[in-house]
Amino acid sequence: MNMNCEKAQATIQERIDGHLMDGRELAAMERHLESCAACRRFQVDMVELHDGLAALPELELPDEALEEVWDRTVRRSSGTVPGRWRWMAAAAAVLTVAMAGSWFGLLDREPEYSPDEIARATVEARAALGMAGQALQRSQTVAMEEVLGGQVTPALEKITIGLP
C-alpha cells in the first residue's frame, strides 16, 4: 500500500491519539516517513504538541460558571438575541464576505508562501482543530454527567412544565 502525505499525516495523528492501527497501514506510514522529510517534521511537531498539551494542568470549571451559562441560555426569558450578539454576527458576516472577496481576487496571483510555511500552517490548523475537538468532547462528557447526575434535570423539568 502506497501512502500520500495527507493519508500519512492523518495516520500519524491517529497513532498519537492512541487509536489502534492496522499493521499494513502502519508499515505504509513508516515507509512513507522514510522518504518524506515534511511528514517526519509533521510527526515531530505532533508529538511535541501532544506532549506539551499532556503536560498542561487540567482546570476545573467552578459550579458558578455552569450556573452563569445556564442563566444566559436556558433561563433567559426573552426570546430575542441581545444587541451585542446581533452586532457581532453582522460583523462576522461582513468580515466573511470581505475575506471571500479578497480570496477570489487573489486566486490568480502566485503563492507568496513557501511549501514549508504552508506545511507548518497546516500542522498548526490541524492542531488547533484537534484541541477544539477535544475540548468539545470533554465539555460534552461533563455536560452529560451533570445532566445524568441530576444537576440539570430538575431545572429542565421546571422549564418544560411551562411549555405548551
- Encode pLDDT of 43-76 as tens digits: 999 888 888 888 877 777 677 777 777 777 666 5
Rounded to the nearest integer, the mean pLDDT of the chain is 74
Instruction: State the pLDDT at residue 134.
Output: 75
Nearest Cα residue to 15 out of 23, 24, 5, 26:
26
C-alpha cell at 101: 472577496
**How many domains would you assign to the chain?**
1
Can you give the length of the chain in residues? 164
Residue found by looking up cell 441560555 in the block = 73
Nearest Cα residue to 9 out of 49, 52, 54:
49
Q: Is residue 19 part of a domain?
A: yes
Q: Which helix (H) or strand (E) holds 50?
A: helix 37-55
pLDDT in tens, 64-109: 777 777 777 666 544 555 556 566 666 677 667 666 655 555 445 5
Instruction: State the pLDDT at residue 94.
Output: 66
Considering 10-19, 127-136, 137-146, the range whose residues carry the highest mean pLDDT is 10-19
Instruction: State the pLDDT at residue 35.
Output: 93
Q: Is residue 18 part of a domain?
A: yes
Q: Is residue 48 part of a domain?
A: yes
Q: Is residue 113 part of a domain?
A: no
Given a cut of 70, is residue 153 above it in pLDDT?
no
Number of H helices and E strands in the chain, helices first, is 7, 0
- With a pLDDT cut of 70, the percent of the chain lying above it is 60
Q: Is residue 43 part of a domain?
A: yes
- The 3-state DSSP composition of the chain as helix, strand, coil percent (nearest 5) reads 75, 0, 25
Q: Is residue 87 part of a domain?
A: no
- Domain extent, residue 49, equals 1-56
Q: Is residue 127 part of a domain?
A: no
Given a cut of 90, is residue 124 above it in pLDDT?
no
- Model pTM score: 0.40
Q: Is residue 129 part of a domain?
A: no
